[in-house]
Amino acid sequence: MNTVCSRLLLCLACLTWLAAGAAHAQDDTPAEPAVTIVANDSGEHQLLVMLRLPAAHYRPDASYGGRYLDDSGRSARHRRAEQLAQQHGLALLDDWPMPVLGIDCYVMRYPAHESAEHMIAVLTQDPQVAWAQPVASFSGLGQADTAPAGDALYPVQPAARYWHVAELHRYTTGRNIKVAVVDSGIDASHPDLLGQLDVNSNFVDAGPTPAENHGTAVAGIIAAKAGNGGILGVAPQARLMGLRACWQLPDQATRCNSFTLAKAINYAILNGARVINLSLSGPPDRLLDRLLDAALERGIGVVGAVDPQNAGPAFPAGHRGVLAVASQTRNGSSNRAVGQTRPEPPLFAPGNDIPTSAPGGRWTFVNGSSYAAAHVSGMLALLDELQPDTSPAQLRQLLQPAPTLNAGNIDACATISRLVRHCQCTLPLSQSGAAP
């Protein structure tokens, strides 16, 4: 895309967003709401305090979606947390069970004259407390330029140019594979996403799930269905779990925090997700790291976006076992400078000039490792259909065998060919045809 075209698209974007207003998608299965002040403020003077659960509270069945059951233990545990907060001069704001870790997570506000370090040191001396930590902030890694609605965008998708996804769909479409999109709100009524979401839950506040830019774009890349005049998702027959843990700011940026992300990841683990997409980045976080350990132990593939501006430790891309994904350069090559300090080299996938879905039945061009990660999550759904119950380590081996780990980009055709005999998906774009 040349510079003039990019500037025109940016202008169109500004006009379209001003005219469009705030679209909202209906929340199909609302989660127990959090307190809005916890989700949307900066987390200043807030701590997450993890209290140990009695062993009998944990119910491993999939119907337990991360909400409290109507048992007498809930009120007793809440009273215990209130007493702890009062004892230390804290205000109890919100709570959520994390049964996969054997804890209840409480959000507490400490006085402005205290320091987080001092309060954490005091709280962790209490035998009821598993640990305490600050509420960290996380950001989506992407930006968007709006494109005119109604264009047949498959021919300009990098997933068509580099991965030939229409040809891959002869062999696998990700049928019925549950992919958890832990992100901002998804527009479930978008033509490319209508009927694609099994769940569209809001873990940020008490309202219905709003249609927001980042989550809608990520969802479209993963699972946009064919034949709607827009794009073709990498795994168009995957089943999406839209888990709103992030929110859109007035400047269109995307933010999340430790508490909202933890609730959504906990839900994904308990409700059968085979892939968890985390197109975001922030500091290492003990609670979130523990949840990712639990997901990986259950064989769930976790995909995280690499922040190209952060060479140090980060969540989730720095977590061992997570498939960390960075963007290819615009000419399709890998960027060797990205992720060199990581214990495992990142995977590279399309992340520049990507057409995808946008709220209000529109389409947009996006850039960033958020969208490269979405490509890989779709790829995992394709692989899981062909070879169910593949471990996260095996998934990485399928995507890039050991001899090619430093080669950079994923070769999607070669990956599928390892599982399907006589797979042929290497036709040039001019011969591959439009989306089926």
**Calpha distance 186→200 (Å, rounded):** 7
Distance CA 399, CA 384 (A): 12
Active site residue 183: yes
Could you tell me whether strands 143-147 and 103-109 are parallel, antiparallel, or unpaired per DSSP bridges? unpaired
Q: Which of 57, 190, 214, 319 is catalytic?
A: 214
Q: Which candidate in 139, 281, 370, 377 is catalytic?
A: 370
Angle between helix 369-386 and 213-223 (nearest 10): 30
Q: Which of 145, 183, 187, 192 is catalytic?
A: 183
| Residues with catalytic function | 183, 214, 370
